[in-house]
């Protein structure tokens, strides 16, 4: 019996090993023609319009809080570009929002705009034909970052490849950037997809982006160029598919028709009305003029596991020497501080700094396994004096909302990544406060030294932390020993205070699963 089982196991391994050989492969030797961002000195309508509002050598910023405004701003940049569009994303879905953005990129390319699209390959295996078709346009080039060599949507093939090459494939490009003519750029937490732009029927991510103008955009363009030219960025021409011009023409016609029909619809008119660009370019809405620092992981982080911390985003942030004296506010959907984070919090608390952290409740999180990592730190954080707030999946209909939950039946989930120090400095970017962002994925963000913008982000976060919208975990007093510490969750429901002794919105089975996940040694991968 033992020999038979051993033989069957060996056969299973042999079959798994042979499966990738039956699947089409990426051509890693495909040519990579060099290209670079255009100079900021190049004339364009965007440059002319911004000159009246952004002083030479300085940077301006506008917060994109609402999802519709964030999508409208991206479409507006694509429509106004005359030289170049550089687009870099972790996820680029093919839903309505993704198709609208793709249609806008194709329309720009038809006008003669050079379009470069760089996407992480984590979600691209079933999009090879679409990406290769887009790449076929003479003014569009698509590259995949850190791609899977075997191109198959078969789960067994994907699993075998992930196991065989797990060190490399576990490291992803999480950066987000949308840059027009090297004059205006959008960066922050949003990927391209309906759930990021208040357009999904079941899920709405609560997120933040910033629209940037001026000197900082040149820094973003240099970062894009570094990733674009890195050896991990493989051209879509390397994909084992060969769409012809007829497919490109059909796709262009379909997307153009979708774009036209959407513009005439009520949703399209609502989206157009949310566009912040006309008011900003006309001076009706003021820019936040402020110095800023771009902090970004080197693209080689995805290839070199032992990169010195000082060269990574977390090291660059520490190198800015922004040490809070009064308050530190951290907004992160996935929050696993680790020993280093806990050391910072203990030091800040000892210095009299008030620390507030907004993250997802278990019932609002889209990645429960990461919530398990956070749950292991909940009691130590509270014992350190940190105030925790966990966003609910549904909030009560009260005024001054974080987002208009009343307009949709969708479940809310926090996705914004922002840090505010002393209402003076604010970080907005793709970086989650967890080990994956710190050590595995590449990340990007801007530290803006603007009290006004910092106060704006703080107001948004504090609105989300209200008891109608968030649970507040608190230690049960008295606590004789750390091992006896327990947590209760406080919130307001229908105008009355409410207290729960278990994680709100969870079933006994979910809590049992959470206990199992908390016991597993998986923190470094979260």
pLDDT score, position 124:
82
Residues 208, 330 contacting (CB under 8 angstroms): no
Whether residues 316 and 442 share a domain: the answer is: yes
pLDDT score, position 406:
35
**Residue 460, Cα to own-chain centre: how many angstroms?**
18
Q: Which among 80, 16, 96, 3 has a CA at the least distance from the CA of 45?
A: 80
Q: pTM for this one?
A: 0.93
Question: What's phi and psi for 502, nearest 5 deg?
Answer: -130, 165
Please confirm whether the linkage preceding 410 is cis (ω < 30° from 0): no
Whether residues 463 and 521 share a domain: the answer is: yes
Q: How does pLDDT run across 180-227, given as a tens digit for each residue?
A: 999 999 999 999 999 999 999 888 999 999 999 999 999 999 999 999
Whether residues 425 and 481 share a domain: the answer is: yes
SS3 assignment, position 506: coil
Give the gyration radius of the chain's Cα atoms.
24
Whether residues 217 and 323 share a domain: the answer is: no
In a domain, 3, yes or no: no
pLDDT average, residue stretch 465-493: 84
- Whose tokens are 């984590």? That residue is 122
User: Percentage of residues in the chain with pLDDT exceeding 70?
Assistant: 91
Question: What's phi and psi for 82, nearest 5 deg?
Answer: -120, -15
pLDDT band at residue 10 under the 50/70/90 scheme = very low
Q: Which among 432, 434, 458 has a CA at the least distance from the CA of 445?
A: 432
The residues annotated with a catalytic role in the active site are 174, 176, 181, 415, 417, 422
pLDDT score, position 395:
65
SS3 assignment, position 126: coil
SS3 assignment, position 152: coil
DSSP string for 34-89: ---PPPTTS--HHHHHHHTTS-TT-EEEEEE-SHHHHHHHHHHHHHH-SSEEEEEE
pLDDT > 70? residue 147:
yes
Gap between the Cα atoms of 373 and 133, Å rounded = 41
| Of the candidate ranges 87-101, 323-337, 470-484, 486-500, the one whose mean pLDDT is the lowest | 470-484
In a domain, 32, yes or no: no
What is each CA distance from 479 to 94, 169, 474, 484, 490, in whole angstroms? 51, 44, 12, 7, 18
Beta-carbon contacts of 181 under 8 Å, excluding residues fewer than 6 positions away, are 38, 42, 44, 46, 47, 81, 82, 83, 84
pLDDT band at residue 18 under the 50/70/90 scheme = very low
Residues 127, 144 contacting (CB under 8 angstroms): no
pLDDT band at residue 398 under the 50/70/90 scheme = very low
Residues 210, 229 contacting (CB under 8 angstroms): no
pLDDT score, position 405:
37
DSSP classification of residue 242: -
* β-strand partners of 294: 446
Whether residues 265 and 305 share a domain: the answer is: no
In a domain, 33, yes or no: no
In a domain, 151, yes or no: yes
Domain count along the chain:
2
Q: How does pLDDT run across 343-368, given as a tens digit for each residue?
A: 999 999 999 999 999 999 999 998 88
pLDDT > 90? residue 411:
no
pLDDT > 60? residue 15:
no
Whether residues 239 and 353 share a domain: the answer is: no
In a domain, 475, yes or no: yes
Whether residues 151 and 273 share a domain: the answer is: yes
pLDDT > 60? residue 256:
yes
Whether residues 361 and 489 share a domain: the answer is: yes
| Of the candidate ranges 15-19, 381-385, 464-468, 518-522, the one whose mean pLDDT is the lowest | 15-19
pLDDT band at residue 29 under the 50/70/90 scheme = confident
Mean pLDDT of the chain: 91
pLDDT average, residue stretch 468-490: 81
pLDDT > 90? residue 229:
yes
Whether residues 114 and 256 share a domain: the answer is: yes
Q: Length of the chain, please?
A: 526
pLDDT average, residue stretch 505-515: 92
pLDDT > 80? residue 89:
yes
DSSP string for 404-465: -GGG--PEEEE---EEEETTTEEEEES--SSHIIIIISB-EEEEE--HHHHHHHHHHHHHHT
In a domain, 30, yes or no: no
Residues 338, 438 contacting (CB under 8 angstroms): yes
pLDDT score, position 434:
95
Specify the higher pLDDT residue, 486 or 249.
249
Gap between the Cα atoms of 119 and 75, Å rounded = 18
pLDDT score, position 21:
53
Residues 127, 93 contacting (CB under 8 angstroms): no
In a domain, 166, yes or no: yes
Question: What's phi and psi for 241, nearest 5 deg?
Answer: -135, 155
Burial class (CB in 10 A: 0-12, 13-18, 19+), 324: buried
End-of-domain residue from the set 216, 251, 282: 282
Whether residues 400 and 432 share a domain: the answer is: yes
In a domain, 39, yes or no: no
CATH of the domain at 182: 3.30.870.10
Containing structural domain, residue 52: 44-282
Whether residues 349 and 277 share a domain: the answer is: no
End-of-domain residue from the set 230, 254, 282: 282
End-of-domain residue from the set 282, 309, 340: 282
Whether residues 426 and 377 share a domain: the answer is: yes
- Whose tokens are 């911390």? That residue is 309
């Amino acid at each position: 019996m033992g020999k038979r089982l051993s033989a069957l196991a060996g056969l299973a391994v042999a079959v798994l090993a042979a499966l990738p050989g039956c699947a089409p492969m990426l051509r890693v030797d495909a040519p990579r023609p060099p290209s670079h961002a255009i100079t900021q000195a190049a004339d364009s309508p965007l440059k002319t319009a911004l000159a009246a509002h952004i002083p030479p050598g300085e940077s301006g910023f506008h917060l994109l809080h609402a999802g519709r405004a964030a999508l409208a701003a991206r479409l507006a940049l694509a429509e106004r570009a005359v030289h170049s569009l550089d687009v870099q994303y972790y996820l680029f879905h093919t839903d309505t929002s993704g198709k609208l953005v793709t249609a806008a990129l194709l329309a720009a390319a038809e006008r003669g705009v050079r379009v470069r699209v760089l996407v992480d390959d984590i979600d691209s295996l079933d999009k090879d034909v679409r990406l290769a078709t887009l790449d076929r346009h003479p003014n569009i080039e698509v590259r995949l970052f850190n791609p899977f060599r075997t191109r198959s949507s078969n789960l067994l093939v994907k699993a075998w490849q992930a196991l065989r090459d797990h060190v490399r494939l576990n490291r992803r490009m999480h950066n987000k950037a949308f840059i027009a003519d090297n004059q205006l750029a959008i960066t922050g937490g949003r990927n391209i997809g309906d759930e990021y732009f208040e357009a999904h029927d079941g899920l709405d991510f609560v997120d933040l982006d910033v629209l940037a103008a001026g000197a900082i955009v040149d820094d973003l363009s240099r970062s894009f160029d570094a990733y674009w030219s890195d050896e991990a960025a493989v051209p879509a021409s390397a994909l084992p598919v060969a769409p012809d011009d007829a497919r490109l023409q059909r796709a262009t016609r379909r997307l153009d028709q979708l774009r036209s029909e959407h513009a005439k619809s009520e949703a399209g008119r609502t989206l157009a009305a949310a566009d912040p660009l006309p008011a900003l370019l006309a001076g009706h809405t003021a820019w936040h003029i402020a110095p800023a620092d771009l902090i970004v992981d080197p693209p080689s982080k995805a290839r070199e596991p032992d990169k010195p911390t000082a060269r990574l985003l977390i090291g660059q942030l520490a190198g800015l020497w922004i040490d809070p004296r009064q308050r530190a506010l951290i907004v992160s959907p996935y929050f696993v501080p680790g020993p280093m984070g806990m050391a910072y919090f203990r030091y800040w608390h000892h210095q009299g700094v008030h620390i507030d952290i907004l993250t997802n409740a278990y019932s609002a999180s889209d990645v429960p396994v990461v919530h398990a990592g956070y749950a292991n730190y909940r009691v130590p954080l509270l014992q350190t004096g940190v105030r925790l707030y966990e966003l609910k999946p549904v909030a009560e209909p009260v005024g001054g909302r974080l987002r208009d939950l009343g307009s949709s039946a969708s479940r809310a989930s926090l996705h914004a990544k922002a840090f505010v120090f002393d209402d003076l400095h604010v970080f907005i970017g793709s970086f989650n406060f967890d080990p994956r962002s710190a050590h595995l994925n590449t990340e990007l963000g801007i530290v803006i030294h603007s009290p006004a913008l910092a106060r704006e982000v703080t107001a948004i976060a504090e609105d989300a932390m209200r008891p109608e919208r968030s649970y507040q975990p608190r230690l049960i007093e008295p606590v004789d020993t750390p091992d006896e510490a327990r947590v209760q969750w406080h919130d307001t429901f229908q105008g009355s205070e409410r207290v729960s002794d278990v994680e709100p919105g969870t079933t006994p089975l979910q809590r049992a699963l959470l206990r199992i996940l908390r016991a597993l040694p998986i923190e470094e991968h979260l």
